[in-house]
Amino acid sequence: MATKGSMFAGCTVALVTPFKHGDVDEAALRASVDWQVEQGTPTVSPVGTTGESPTLSHLEHELVIATVISQAAGRIKVMAGTGSNSTSEAVRLTKFAAKAGADAALIVAPYYNRPTQEGLYAHFAKIGESVDLPIVLYNIPSRTGRNIEPETVERLSKIAPIVAIKEAAGSLDQVSDILDRTNLTVLSGDDSLTLPMMAVGGEGVVSVAGNIVPGDVIRLINAFNAGDIALAQSIHRKLYPLCKDLLGLASNPSPIKSAMALLGRGTAEVRLPLVPLDERATEILRCSLVRYGLLV
């Protein structure tokens, strides 16, 4: 039976926001969309936390969403990041994404304010009542300070626009609980957990590694769906060390931006308070890319 948000199953790439001398590099952003289309990526997600949404101005946030939708031109789905720790701001951004032509909105749980479960429900319910756009919840308690508990996800799943959840709490038990309680599509929020989460019923990933190796992420998902578990495991084992470095050497997206710079696909420029990788971390990352076969 198809799940509620099965149109977003598979690989969604959490796009980085390229900068040039401190400003959003629109040309590089458009090129990254074209590259993802060429790679066969079904969906991209601009201005999530990988896209440095917390340090973009409101105008820049809208610019990135509009630019990606314009460049995608219907060739690839766009799941726009529209989360905020202000409910009214999240409503405004989500309405903007809907009007701009996004296919869905990815909405992170409010960070820093640490609302109660009732507050989390009220936040997402208010957004869901405000738009007719498919909504993907994003649970990442390590960054927000609050877990969206499965009971709350179950309540939210009854709100029509809410179709899926990007689950990054790192708990397969929590994923199983959500799948038991709801018919939402569950997407991994951690590249290294994509295969384990699919084994219990997840349907894909919102991927950071997909900025450089979307083809392998897609192959892993396709292999699992085709029942070729041995191939899926083989791709997982190849991806695992790279994914751990991309998410473990420093706060995301500093490592993935450095990896893209090493591969000649952009600059390592991030916005303060994030900083580029230091020499030691860059060398570890370089070795990881060599081992993977991406660098000579």
Instruction: Tell me the catalytic residues.
Output: 138, 166
Sign, CA dihedral 51-55-61-63, equals negative
Find the mean pLDDT for residues 187-205: 98
Domains and CATH numbers, the chain: 6-225 (3.20.20.70)
Q: Is the pLDDT of residue 294 over 80?
A: yes
Give 234-281 pLDDT, tens digit per residue: 999 999 999 999 999 999 999 999 999 999 999 999 999 999 999 999
How buried is 59 (Cβ within 10 angstroms: 0-12 exposed, 13-18 middle, 19+ buried)?
exposed
Give 28-80 pLDDT, tens digit per residue: 999 999 999 999 999 999 999 999 999 999 999 999 999 999 999 999 999 99
Strands in the chain per DSSP E: 10-14, 19-20, 23-24, 43-45, 77-81, 104-108, 135-139, 162-167, 185-188, 204-207
**What is the helix (H) or strand (E) element at residue 273, kind and residue range?**
none
Secondary structure class of 205 (helix, strand, coil): strand
Distance CA 209, CA 246 (A): 7
Q: What is the DSSP letter of 56?
A: S
